[in-house]
Structure 1
Amino acid sequence: MTNALSIGALRRGPLRNRWGLVMLGMLALLGIVGLWGNHYAHRFYFDEAEARGINTLRLSVAVLRGHMARYESLPSVIAGFDEIQDMMADPRNETMVDEVNRYLKEINTQFASSDIYVMDPQGTTIAASNYDTETPFVGENFQYRPYFFEAIDGGEGRFFALGTTSLKRGYYFGAPVTVGGETLGVVAVKIDIDSIEETWRGAGDLNIIVTDPEGIIFMTSQPEWLYHSVLPLTSERLARTAETRRYADAQLAELALTESRTDAHHLYRIAGPGAESEYLVVSEDMTEADWTVSVLLDTASSRRDALTTLAIALLVIAMISLGVAAIFQRRARLRERFEMQRDAKELLERRVNERTAELASVNRRLEEEVTERRATEQMLRKTQSDLVQAGKLAALGQMSAALSHEFNQPLAAARNYAENALVLIERDRVDDAKTNVSRISGLIDRMSAISRHLRNFARKPNQKLTSVPLDQVLDDTLEIINWRLKSADIQLTVDLGNAPLSVVGGPIRLQQVLVNILSNAIDAVESTVDRRIAVTARRNGDVVTITIRDHGPGITPGLGDRIFDPFFSTKGVGKGLGLGLSISYNIIKDFGGELRVENHPEGGAIFTIELTTASTTDGTTSRILEATP
Structure 2
Amino acid sequence: MNSKTMGSRIVGALIAAMAWRPKPPRGYRGLAAAMAGVACVLVPLASYLASEWARGQALDELAETARARLTLYTATLTAEIEKYRVLPLTLAWDPDVAALLAAPRDIALIDRVDRKLAALNAGAALSALYVMGRDGMTLAASNWTEESSFIGRNFAFRPYFTDAIAGRVGRYFAMGTTSNIPGYYIAYPVWAPVRAENQTLGVVVAKIGMDALESAWHQMAGERVFVSDRRGVVFISNVPEWRFRTLAPLDAETRREVERSMQYEGTSLLPLPPMDSSLVHQAAVPGTDWTVHVALDNRPVNVRAWSAGLGAGIATLLLLAAGLVVLQRRLALSERLEYQRRAHLMLEHRVGERTAELSSANARLTAEIAERERAEQAAERAREDLVQAAKLAALGQMAAGIVHEVNQPIAAIRSYSENAGLLLERGKLDLVRANLLEITGLTERVATITRQLKTFARKSSGVLVPVSPRASVERSMALLGAQTQALGAEMVLELPDQSPMVLADEARLDQVIVNLLRNALDAVAARNHRLITVSLDQDGDYVLLRVRDTGPGIPEEDLPSLFDPFFTTKEVGVGLGLGLSISYGIVQGFGGRIAAANHEEGGAVFTVALRRAPDR
**Which of the five TM-score ranges fits, normalised by the shorter chain?**
0.3 to 0.5
* TM-score, with length taken from structure 1: 0.45
More strand by share: 1
